[in-house]
Amino acid sequence: MNASPVAGVRRQRLLVLASLIVFALAALTVPGLQSDEPAQAAVACGSNRASLTTGQGVTMDPCLSEVSTRMVVTRSAPTSSLGCGPFFLRACYETRWTINGIQRGGPFNVKFADGSVRSLYRLTFRNFHASKAAQITTMRMAQGDGGGAQGPIPGYTVKMLPDLNISLGGGAATTYTDLWVTASSWIQADFSVLGVGFDCTETRQVDNALLGFTAIVAVDVNGCAMDLDIAYMVTTPASGGTPNAVNLPNTTLRLDP
């Protein structure tokens, strides 16, 4: 301030000018750094929509990204030292998910938003209920046709932790849940239909030939564990109509770094 008035004015003018330039650059560039990505995704999806048909015959054209939903139900510790089944020969486990019918379809070649085609199986569950041990996490799918969970997305992972048991589709009415999953997804369940039987001690991948015999029939399936890498999931009421979004009960959403 003690310098000559002209120098002071010049310095102040430069300071104001620099501040305005800094603000303009920040306002224009920082939000623009990331806005391109969603725009590109939207454009890329325009012609790369999947064509999926539910077990009830409803066809949809969703836009599938490589980010999938992974539903994991872990198996409990053996619940009885005595054992279960014929002659009490196999271990007992807690029932953590149930369905009243199952059908496997596929494999189907499904187009993703980035133009890639992947092989997915469709699992149709009737009245799918899962215990609160079920965790639903966003994951990145593996590249290639084989699919399979690749692990949590670097950065942030959305975890859905149900406070109560899950009833997909909700309500007491019969609801079908269609899940398009990768071949590496697996289930552990006690059920027997048309002579094909599994129990909770065995892990059955979705591409297992035995699962191909399953059809929607009134059979109770008591599941102990599952690990499904889900690309798309809808619920459809038995009365027909448009597939619904998936309804979850009171659920804790957690953002994990």
Which residues bind to other proteins, rule: CB under 8 A?
Answer: 1, 8-9, 11-13, 15-16, 19-20, 22-23, 26-27, 30-31, 33-35, 155-156, 257
Give the DSSP H or E segment for 190.
strand 186-193
Distances in Å between the alpha carbon of 241 and those of 43, 58, 90, 123?
Answer: 30, 8, 43, 19
Least Å distance, CB 140 to other proteins, is 16
Taking the least distance from each CB to other proteins, the nearer of 16 and 43 is 16
Q: Which of 155, 144, 157 is nearest to 34 (CA)?
A: 155
Taking the least distance from each CB to other proteins, the nearer of 42 and 173 is 42
Count of beta carbons in the 10 Å neighbourhood of residue 185: 25
Least Å distance, CB 152 to other proteins, is 15
Least Å distance, CB 35 to other proteins, is 5
Helical residues (DSSP H) of 5-55, grouped into ranges: 5-29, 32-45
Least Å distance, CB 1 to other proteins, is 7
65's CB contacts (< 8 A; 6+ apart) are 41, 112, 113, 114
Taking the least distance from each CB to other proteins, the nearer of 39 and 82 is 39
Taking the least distance from each CB to other proteins, the nearer of 31 and 46 is 31
